[in-house]
Structure 1
Amino acid sequence: MQQNKSKRYHSLDIVRGVAAVSVVLSHLINYIPISSTNFFDSLCVEFVDLFMLIFRGSARLSAHPGVIVFIVLSGFCIHLPIANAYHRIKKHGFWSEYAVRRLIRIAPVYWAACLLGLFALLSWRYSSSVILPHWLSASASIDILDVIRKFGMIDPVLLSNPISLGNPALRTVATEIWLYALYPLVLAVLIYSSWCMRVIVLCLLYVATVAMTLLPMVPSGWAYESVPRFLVWWMIGVYAADWFKKHPTWGASMKGWMITILLAVVMIVLNSISDFRGAYLITVPVLALFSASLLISLLSSEFLGMIQGGVIVRAFSAIGLRSYSLYAVHMPVLGLYYLVINKYNAPYYGAPQGSAFVPLLTIALVTELFFRYIELPSHSAAKRLGRLFSKSVPDSTRLDRNT
């Protein structure tokens, strides 16, 4: 009997696309001096200014707001095929397939992006007349232990400041790998506890991560983007997926959308008035809750056929499909572009200035290369290898297309 293919929710790709664009544009405008002499450059600058105005409280002493959305989305997607169908995890070979698919889908792009970061770092290193920007790497030196930490994805669990090696954005990807490893524990909380206990566990974990930032032996760079801190946002995504699977139409109701809109208003108000140092302790959890509520509302609306594809929807959906490759490559490309305008423009025009169009076009081209020749083949290989470990698992119990 032929099994039905799992439904792919394009709303997830849209959210991925918006989050990815916000991260890339923020890094571009904040790190590259843009001349703003044309409409496109001015539009990019205005977008980032508006974005940071809305999320300024969430961006202080925390990961980029777009990264928070990514983490919530990651937890949502990983749990979506399992939610309300826990019999699947008892099937022979399920966890073997899960582990293989997660690693094979992520590792090739990650390692290729690490090499791209090293290339950018070496390019700066051998351009002695140009000072290495702090946002690309703290030092131009390359230590073999740092390379092992980076390529081995063990940096997030070491109690030390993160290493960049030309691609600091990959820290989030490595952290996500460790979140996947913790999924069985999160699943145990969901299966064996009530909703009240789930919330208590989440709150206690968050309090513990806040307490870690007060310890003198914990580096600040590790504490604010650590595995425990990201686990809180990831679990919110997991909880949201569990709620959606049990109540697939609830998010599209008046009550569902009103809660989403209310969280959006609270988030904007808190970010606009939160100028004190500890504001992120409130604003970031609200952002994570808003992201989870928005995912539920969007997927419920798509489930009922209320979301139709338009040009903008298709554009962000296409970006969302490529969001992992986009996120993995954008920092080294920005670093190389900054090197070019420093080395060749600055001697003739004074302070280096560039255009937003050139680096964005380059990032788009490199992203497409990574997506077509590394990420897509990795997905196919992950499916084939995963099924070698789970030959007796029916199609209906396998991980679906949204993960």
Structure 2
Amino acid sequence: MNQLDSIRGLAAFCVLISHSFSLFTLPVVIDKLLKATGVINAHGAVMLFFVLSGFVLSLPFLKEDKIEYTSYMIKRLFRIYVPYLVSISFAIILSQIFLSNKIGSVSGYIDSQWKTVLNGKLLLEHIYFIGNIHADSFNGVIWTLIHELRIALIFPFIVILIKRLNWKISILLCFALTSIKVLDIVFQIQKSNGFHSSYIDTLSYISLFIFGVLLAKHKTDAISFFKKLTFIKKVLFFMISILLFNFSGLIIFDLLVLTKFSVFSKFGLIIQEYGMGLGAVGFFIIAIGSSKVEKALMAKPISFVGKISFSLYLYHPLVLLSCIHLFYYTLPFWSICIITIVFSLVVAYTTWKFIEVPSMRLGRSLAKRVSTSQSNRIKSQQMLTKNQ
């Protein structure tokens, strides 16, 4: 389902635009328009990544009862961890090069980056990676990869569980996992050293992965449901998905202002993330249920961004911060923004071709060897048993 890669690409591009546009204050009308259309919605894009991972990764496990865990983990490590190691190495080197470079205030996101002196503890944290690390020290976007790898360790078993449960019980499980995050907010059980990088955060984000697993499990029904809708109802379905994905945060904010209820202040982000997750599910149903949408998503520019989406997500902060440090006193912010977008795409393509693709290819090769070795070992044991 290559059209889903295209959606991932659009989401990654949305994160790039969101971070690049933080260089300057947009007029209120333009800002609201960009947020309403999803052009600026970095956090929503991340929730989409989580749902999409749950959907795509669960498909093989839903087809077969047998789990080749070692092969699966090898492929995941070479898909995520190896490209991450290369990117974080570049991030650390660049952050230390520009550490002494003094620039003025730009924005909350920009001002918080590349202010950390490297030490042995931080280096070990970023090598170990899946701990509760200071994930915003060198590349702020890696917090999502921490959850991806943590959840990857137990994901096959999550799929087996969801496969056996009906969807209502599965949703209750999502609420149960998120309730632990609620308790953490109230009682401050575990401090997050980075942006949402605690283990309790991971438990909450498992819910978004389960959304994806449920969609994969009921994929045929979801496609059938969407195809039977009239054109007007399909448009309405799309609008509801847009509303959930792009406006969950704004609705929570407005409710807080109107009602003064502290519940919207304390737990607003959780409610917002569920809304974004459900909106993402709606987008995926449309993408796999409509041939016209699939064709549009497979247009070359969109599919290209889909291919390089992971590298684009990983490297765009490095390009953005480097451009700011290099051109802060010589170019206007709008020029830096354009340069960032162009060079982020160039760097993403380069790293995709020379780092990401070879890493995935090597991971698949090693996983195949392990799988073949395990199969041969099982056959040998079966032969010995028969001979005895």
Place the TM-score, normalised by the shorter chain, in its bin.
0.7 to 0.9
176-185 vs 309-318, which deviates more? 309-318
Q: CA deviation at 1:233?
A: 1.1
Question: 2:137 corresponds to which residue?
Answer: 165
Equivalent AA in structure 2 for residue 134 of structure 1: D
Question: 1:102 corresponds to which residue?
Answer: 76
Matched ranges for 1:248-267 at <5 A? 248-254=223-229, 257=234, 259-265=237-243
**2:7 aligned to which of 15, 19, 29:** 15
Q: Deviations over 1:144-200 (max 9, x none)?
A: 111111122123xx2x6x332321111211221111112033123213322222121
- What is the CA–CA distance in structure 2 between the aligned matches of 1:230 and 1:71, rounded to whole Å? 8
- What is the CA–CA distance in structure 1 between the aligned matches of 2:103 and 2:247, rounded to whole Å? 42
- TM-score, normalization: structure 1? 0.78
271-280 vs 118-127, which deviates more? 271-280
176-185 vs 331-340, which deviates more? 176-185
State yes or no: 1:144 paired with 2:129.
no
Matched ranges for 1:26-41 at <5 A? 26-30=18-22, 32-33=23-24
Q: Deviations over 1:125-156 (max 9, x none)?
A: 243x446953324x33112111111122123x
Question: 2:260 corresponds to which residue?
Answer: none
State yes or no: 1:209 paired with 2:181.
yes
State yes or no: 1:135 paired with 2:112.
yes
Q: Deviations over 1:85-112 (max 9, x none)?
A: 23343xxxx2121011111122221011
Q: CA deviation at 1:268?
A: 5.5
Matched ranges for 1:33-182 at <5 A? 33=24, 49-53=32-36, 64-83=43-62, 85-89=63-67, 94-127=68-101, 129-130=102-103, 133-137=110-114, 139-155=115-131, 158=132, 162-182=134-154
Q: CA deviation at 1:114?
A: 0.2
- What is the CA–CA distance in structure 2 between the aligned matches of 1:270 and 1:246, rounded to whole Å? 26
Q: Deviations over 1:205-227 (max 9, x none)?
A: 11222221222343366684521
* SS of equivalent residue, structure 1 residue 213: helix
State yes or no: 1:232 paired with 2:215.
no
**1:198 aligned to which of 170, 183, 190:** 170
Structure 1: segments with no counterpart, 5+ residues: 1-8, 37-41, 395-403
* SS of equivalent residue, structure 2 residue 187: coil
* SS of equivalent residue, structure 1 residue 164: coil
Question: 2:383 corresponds to which residue?
Answer: none
Give the CA RMSD over aligned residues.
Answer: 3.2
Asked if the contact 1:105–1:378 (Cα under 8 Å) also holds between the matched residues in 2, the reply is yes
* SS of equivalent residue, structure 1 residue 125: coil
- What is the CA–CA distance in structure 2 between the aligned matches of 1:247 and 1:181, rounded to whole Å? 28
Structure 2: segments with no counterpart, 5+ residues: 257-264, 376-388
Q: Which has the higher helix share?
A: 2
Percent of counterpart pairs with the same letter? Answer: 18
Asked which structure has the greater RCO (Cα within 8 Å, sep 6+), the reply is 1
After superposition, the Cα gap between the structure-2 partners of 1:366 and 1:222, relative to the gap in structure 1 and judged at 3 Å, is closer
Equivalent AA in structure 2 for residue 264 of structure 1: I
After superposition, the Cα gap between the structure-2 partners of 1:77 and 1:167, relative to the gap in structure 1 and judged at 3 Å, is same
Question: 2:357 corresponds to which residue?
Answer: 376
Matched ranges for 1:342-353 at <5 A? 342=328, 344-345=329-330
Q: CA deviation at 1:294?
A: 1.9
117-126 vs 64-73, which deviates more? 117-126
State yes or no: 1:188 paired with 2:160.
yes
After superposition, the Cα gap between the structure-2 partners of 1:169 and 1:393, relative to the gap in structure 1 and judged at 3 Å, is same
Equivalent AA in structure 2 for residue 110 of structure 1: Y
Question: 1:386 corresponds to which residue?
Answer: 367
After superposition, the Cα gap between the structure-2 partners of 1:294 and 1:392, relative to the gap in structure 1 and judged at 3 Å, is farther
State yes or no: 1:289 paired with 2:278.
yes
- What is the CA–CA distance in structure 2 between the aligned matches of 1:243 and 1:311, rounded to whole Å? 22
